[in-house]
Structures are given as structure tokens and as C-alpha cells.
Amino acid sequence: MREVREDIITKYIVMKSAEDWVNFSNVDVVIVGAGPSGMTAAKYLAERGFKVLVVERRLSIGGGIGGGGNLFHKVLVEAPAHEVLNDFNIRYEEVEEGLYVVDTAELEVKLAAGAIDAGAKFLLGATVEDVVFSENPLRVCGVALLWTAIPLSGLHVDPVFIRSRAVVDATGHDAEVLSVVAKKLPELRVVLRGEKSAEASVGERLIVEKTGRVAPGLYAIGMAVAKLYGIPRMGPIFGGMLLSGKKVAEIIAKDLGK
Ligand code: 48H
């Protein structure tokens, strides 16, 4: 095997990471959260030629996919969201007409692979804790982030910033980006109504319907949409998450002119 000195290992890890940080300090779209909706949006946006950064708090991808339903390793997907599965080359079994069962491990790794192959960049272990905004014109134009280990440590450390033309809240049930904006930028009039108890088909339909722009530069997808508009939860059926991610890519493409 080729020999390598320890300092050389350090040098290239730090140098190449820093190159990525410089390159991704200014992007077209920041997607906060690498769950099903965020990774779906990342692929379709990157395919359209946008520079896309996915920021994920954990060291793993998938968000709520891995937990399946009560840790059973399958989720359901309903038509027409199987078309998204086809785009990502994810296998499924049709158990009833228009109703499909998907393996969670395959779903999460192939959503990530699809997004990465399309050109999206993933930054793991980083937490978005605030947004960047401009007053004139009034809009969200980036995020503030910290390595996740920092908030966990309780140390007082200032964040670094990423500028972007669009920020997508794909943080799931907690809608963390929308929550910060609701609290700190009242002029953007973001009010979170809170997610409702389960009514699966209604939740699935409304999440896709309501996916879109929340304020200039700010978009919501997936369960963050449920939290924002008071939409029912749906349990381990993921068609709405996939279609929400796909829809926001179309909306952002229109807004940003591609
Ligand atoms: C960086 C963050 C931050 C932050 C959170 O929860 P997710 O899987 O989100 P969705 O909306 O794509 O999918 C929801 C689905 O998994 C689900 O929970 C369903 C369908 N529930 C139905 C029901 O009835 O319960 O992923 C969100 C991701 C996670 O990986 C978080 O770690 C990450 O976002 N995240 N990343 N900065 N501030 N907050």
C-alpha cells in the first residue's frame, strides 16, 4: 500500500473542506434538512442547473425515513408519487392499485444518491440556527449555521453565513427555519398554526397543495408545511413528502427564472 504521512492526511482534509466552504458560501438554493422532501427538492433543483446546498443537522441522511412506521422498515407511497420513485430508480411493490410499499434503507440512500449525482452538495453535522435577510427589498437571502456539536456543547460561538437566492425549510415537524423567522422577523408575517392530528389522505393532499413560497426568498416543504398551515399528519406514507419536494423545485425555478 502507498505510504502516507499523518500531516498529509490532515492537510488534504482541511484544504478540500475549506475549498467546498468557500465555493458553497454563496449558492442559488439552501435546503435545510436532508429528509425525504429536502432530498427530492435537491435533485430536481440541481438537475435544472441550480447550485444547491443541503444542510443537515445530523451526521446521517434520511430524516424520518429510517424510522419507518414504529421502526418497521417500510413506508407507503401513493400514486402519482411513484413517478418520483422512478426518477430516483427506487424499487417498490404495488400492494393495491396505486399504492406502493418501499424499503426505508433503499429510499433514503437512493434519494441522497439521486440528489448528489444531480450535483447537490450535502453538508452534514451542521445546524441552521438563523436566517440572513435584507430590508430593502425585504427578503430572506441566506442562513446562519453552526457545526451541530457547538450548540450541543453550550459554548457561545457565533455562526457563519451562507448567502442564497432561496432558502427552503425542509426541517420536518419542527419547521425550524419558519419558527426563527416567525419570531425574529415579524415583518415577514410568518405565523405557524401547528400540525393537526392524523387524517392521512387530507394531510397528504394539503401538504402538496400548500407547498411553496412563504415569504420572499423563503419556501416550505414536507412536514414544515403541515406545521405552518395547521395540516393533519399522515404517519408513514411519504408520497406527499416526495411530491412536495418536486413541486417546490418547479416553483423556485419559476421564481428564479429557469
Ligand atoms: C439542519 C435540520 C434542522 C436545522 C431539522 O423530518 P424529516 O424527515 O422532514 P420531511 O418533512 O422531509 O419528512 C417528514 C417525514 O419524515 C415525517 O416525519 C412524516 C411523513 N411524518 C408523518 C407523521 O404523522 O409523523 O427531515 C428533516 C431533517 C432531519 O434530518 C433533521 O435532522 C433536519 O431536517 N433538521 N437540519 N438545521 N435547524 N432542523
Mean pLDDT of 237-253: 98
Length of the chain: 258
Q: In what order do the strands lie in the sheet with 74-78?
A: 74-78, 99-103, 93-96
H helix and E strand count, the chain:
9, 11
Residue 200 lies in a domain: yes
In tens, the pLDDT along 107-137 reads 999 999 999 999 999 999 999 999 999 999 9
Say if CB 220 and CB 211 are below 8 A apart.
yes
The answer to whether residue 244 scores a pLDDT higher than 80 is yes
In tens, the pLDDT along 38-64 reads 999 999 999 999 999 999 999 999 999
Say if CB 102 and CB 90 are below 8 A apart.
yes
- 190: domain CATH number is 3.50.50.60
Which one, of 219, 221, 215, lies nearest residue 243 by Cα? 221
Residue 181 lies in a domain: yes
Residue 14 lies in a domain: no
Mean pLDDT of 135-153: 97
Residue 214 lies in a domain: yes
Residue 154 lies in a domain: yes
Helix (H) or strand (E) holding 78: strand 74-78
Is the CB of 196 inside a 6 Å radius of any atom of ligand 1?
no
Residue type, 32: V
Q: Mean pLDDT over all residues of the chain?
A: 98
Place of cell 392530528: 197
Is the CB of 180 inside a 6 Å radius of any atom of ligand 1?
no
Is the CB of 239 inside a 6 Å radius of any atom of ligand 1?
no
Is the CB of 55 inside a 6 Å radius of any atom of ligand 1?
yes
DSSP 141: E
Residue 164 lies in a domain: yes
Structural domain of 49: 27-256
pLDDT of amino acid 186: 97
Residue 6 lies in a domain: no
pLDDT of amino acid 123: 98
Nearest CA to ligand 1 atom 21: 235
Q: At what angle do helices 104-118 and 36-47 cross, to 10 degrees?
A: 30
Is the CB of 127 inside a 6 Å radius of any atom of ligand 1?
yes
Is the CB of 63 inside a 6 Å radius of any atom of ligand 1?
yes
**CA–CA separation, 221 and 225 (whole Å):** 5
Count of the separate structural domains present in the chain: 1
Atom of ligand 1 nearest to the CA of 237: 20
**pTM across the whole model:** 0.98
Residue 127 lies in a domain: yes
In tens, the pLDDT along 81-102 reads 999 999 999 999 999 999 999 9
What is the SS3 assignment for 131? Answer: strand
In tens, the pLDDT along 192-224 reads 999 999 999 999 999 999 999 999 999 999 999
The answer to whether residue 258 scores a pLDDT higher than 90 is no
**Percent of the chain clearing pLDDT 70 (strictly above):** 100
Q: Of 53, 54, 57, which is best to mutate to test ligand 1, by the most ligand atoms within 8 angstroms of its C-beta?
A: 57
Residues 102-141 as b or e (16 or more Cβ within 10 Å = b)? bbbebbbebbbbbbbebbbbbbeebbbbbbbbeeeeebbb
- Distance in Å, CA 34 to ligand 1 centroid: 7
